[in-house]
Amino acid sequence: MNPKLFWLVTAILLVSFHQAEAQQPKKVPRIGFLGLPSASSFGKQMEALRAGLRDLGYLEGKNVLIDYRWAEGNYDRLSDLAGELVRLRVDILVTHGTPGTIAAKRATTTIPIIMRPAPMPWLRALSKASRGRVATSPAQPFSYRS
């Protein structure tokens, strides 16, 4: 799936989440992003998120805040980082891959979690090798709320 499309869907979910709270005083939405890799290796995806938000009129630091936490490839850090984001009272958690989503799910039962599955190139290779007998699909975003 095109990363820009995923982040656009994420941004739309964020906007719809806040429109439901429209009767409350204006509050700047706060996104918590939990990533397993390093920030430097995830630049393209983060720019896609910012572009999707810009397309909807949201500018980071102006009318939307994004708190980033990076595990730098260390799975053991994910739970602590997810807890930090929960304590910051983010409005929505965005994760990349299953380990980050599991850590986020364990950290909160009230904050919506949006996961972007990690691609599985080996599955596509297996499908090609088996001449289509193994079904594959691109990584699809979905939201999860406990």
Domains observed in the chain: 3-18+26-144 (3.40.50.2300)
Q: Which residue has the tokens 């005083």?
A: 25
Per residue in 16-28, pLDDT tens?
A: 665 555 555 678 9
Amino acid of residue 135: A
Model pTM?
0.68
Give the C-alpha separation, 34 to 29, whole Å.
Answer: 16
Q: Which residue has the higher pLDDT, 141 or 1?
A: 1
Query: Measured on CA atoms in the order 81, 104, 26, 49, is the torsion positive or negative?
Result: positive
46, two tokens: 């983060």
Q: CA-CA-CA-CA torsion for 18, 20, 22, 27, nearest 10 degrees?
A: -30
Q: Which residue has the higher pLDDT, 135 or 65?
A: 65
Least confident of 26-35, 81-90, 119-128: 119-128
Please calculate the CA angle 54-97-103 and round it to the nearest 5 degrees. 105
